[in-house]
Structure 1
Amino acid sequence: MPQSLAVRCPACRRAHRYTAPSYPCACGAPVVPPLDKQGVATRVVHRAWQEDWITVPCGSCGRRGQWPRPELGCPCGTVLRIPVTADAPERPALPSVTIRTARDAVTAVVLYLHRLGYGGIRRADRRPPCGIGLAGRGVLAHVDPSARPATLRDVECLWLTAMTESVGCLYFSLTGYTKESHTRADTLGIPLFLLERSGTVTPVNPSADQLDGSGA
């Protein structure tokens, strides 16, 4: 049965009944944010990325996924943040590797792909024109450790290869992206990520942000 909670708007004092949404875990089971029946709804005044997401474990497989923090819009115009027991906007700590070589870059990407929920990661059968290709179940990832930004051609080559193999694709660059490649990736829906020397993987376009938050 869906979880529900009685909440009151702190601005107009109007009462509401909020029902928690269900999100699909990578294993296929539904995940529902645990509502805090003892908590109080608060007003959203300022937006911060870290505060807009919560980490909720799947009750079936235990996978810890990040989902949007529950919110409710009041007719008076106030946005209410619904209290949950997993109220800390924690991100699971990831193993990291300092990137000094191309192999380090590949290791960092493999760790990140595992974190997203992709399995069976290996070297891609088809070698890309530049960089390193990685393949997993349902995904093709391009790791670009070069000293130049990824170009339009780089992004399109990845997309065409993924289309041929009927899988999704992701691009990881150590240096960044040209304006043209970034625009083209947004058009094609390709998640773009930046590899930092510390081993941190940072999403740099909307498709990557969504994938980073929800997982594969």
Structure 2
Amino acid sequence: MAESVPVTCPACRREHVYAAPTYPCACGAPVTPALDSRAVPESVTHHTWDEGWVTIPCATCGRADQWPRPELGCPCGTVLRVPVAGTALDGDGPADTAETDTRGAGAEAEAHSDVGSGGADGSSRAEPEGAGGGAGTGPGEGSGEGGGRRPPPKSRPQRLPAAVSLPLPRTEPVPRPAFQPVTIRTARDAVTAAALYLRWLGYRDIRRADQRPPSGIGLAARGIVAQVDPTVRPASLRDVECLWLTAMTESAGCVYFSLAGYEEDARARADSLGVPLFVLDLTGTPQPANSLADELVATGA
């Protein structure tokens, strides 16, 4: 269970008790942000996508993912951003490990090159010319069998054994853990639920889409463009077509998340264009709305 910390609103000085939400890691373990009770909470006047996410490592497997930054709404109307200890904003991450691995690999390759070149100091060793005997007489000098030195026999090149190709072991796909939903109360929760579901399907590096859709909020990951519609209006045919055109310009697939469902012509066009449709329920679990969405859930990214 997450630890509760006291939070004081800087606007009205009202005291609150806040407990950070728990998110599911890809390994199945719960991930809870460590709140900093000594830091002063900030008032949020304008939401930005980068400041709304925080990097939190999993205590079980060590995996670091981006999760929604903890926020608290005060009855006076102020939105408070609760400080998190030992984390960084979205986009910041521990890059020292990769750099250390690269340096270690370079040092190892350099050591192998030194060994292959000869001695430890890198100098090559070669036998001196004429080793094994002095200068003999020429072919026209002397008589009999000892008239000249026979050249050393040529060494035959060693024949290497033919490479044997071994069959690679078959690896079964790792089953995904059960999806842990986030209750949808606001439009921001709907976007969070869609982002968590895309990550559960296997997509990584989920971010805000570069192109803003005509309605709703756009998300993007490697190989996929998603649109989240948190309004109470069913998605129309035009909404589905605009998402499909955006995915074509990005050379990626697409998926649609709607809170209020879809119109009949929008469903028909999504089936013809190959767009998976999901409906977001209030529990935060996206429900497949066509056969393409069922196939995406079964196969994953």
- TM-score of the two chains, using structure 2 as the length reference: 0.43
> Structure 2 CA distance, aligned partners of 1:104 and 1:98?
7
Q: Which secondary structure does the structure 2 equivalent of 1:193 belong to?
A: strand
- Kindly indicate whether residue 171 of structure 2 is the aligned counterpart of residue 64 of structure 1: no
Matches of 1:111 and 1:177, distance apart in 2: 22
Q: 2:289, 2:170 → 1: CA distance?
A: 28
Q: Counterpart in 2 of 1:195? A: 280
4+ long deviations beyond 4 Å: 29-32
| Matches for 1:104-143 after TM superposition, within 5 Å | 104-143=189-228
Mapped to 2, the partners of 1:196 and 1:131 lie a distance apart of 16
Specify the SS of the correspondent of 1:169: strand
1-structure distance, mates of 2:170, 2:179:
24
Identity %: 62
Matching residue within 263, 275, 290 for 1:178: 263
- 1:103-142 residue CA offsets vs partner (Å, 9 max, x unmatched): 1001101110011000010000111111000000000000
Q: 1:56-109: per-residue Cα shift (whole Å, max 9, x none)?
A: xx3xxxx325xxxxxxxxxxxxxxxxxxxxxxxxxx322211111111001101
Q: Could you tell me which residue of structure 2 aligns to residue 208 of structure 1?
A: 293
Matches within 5 A, 1:11-26: none
Cα separation, 2, equivalents of 1:208 and 1:170: 8
Residue aligned with 2:220, SS = strand
How far off its partner does 1:152 sit? 0.2
Q: Quick one: higher RCO (CA 8 Å, sep 6+), 1 or 2? A: 1
Aligned to 1:149: 234
Structure holding more strand per residue: 1
Any idea what the Cα deviations from partners look like across 1:167-186, whole Å, max 9, x if unmatched?
Answer: 00000000000000000000
Aligned pairs for 1:22-41 (under 5 A) are: 31-32=171-172
Q: CA deviation at 1:215?
A: 0.4
Corresponding residue of 1:163: 248
Cα distance in 2 for partners of 1:93, 1:193 equals 17
Match among 181, 191, 195 for residue 96 of structure 1:
181
| RMSD of aligned Cα (Å) | 1.4
One-letter code of the match for 2:205? G
Specify every segment of 5 or more residues in structure 2 that has no aligned partner in the other structure, as ranges. 1-168
Q: What's the CA shift for 1:30?
A: 5.3
Unaligned stretches of 5+ in structure 1?
1-28, 33-57, 66-91
Normalising by structure 1, we get a TM-score of 0.59
Distance 2:252 2:195 in 1: 17
> What is the count of residue pairs matched by the alignment?
133
Q: Which residue is 1:15 aligned to?
A: none
Counterpart residue type for residue 103 of structure 1: R
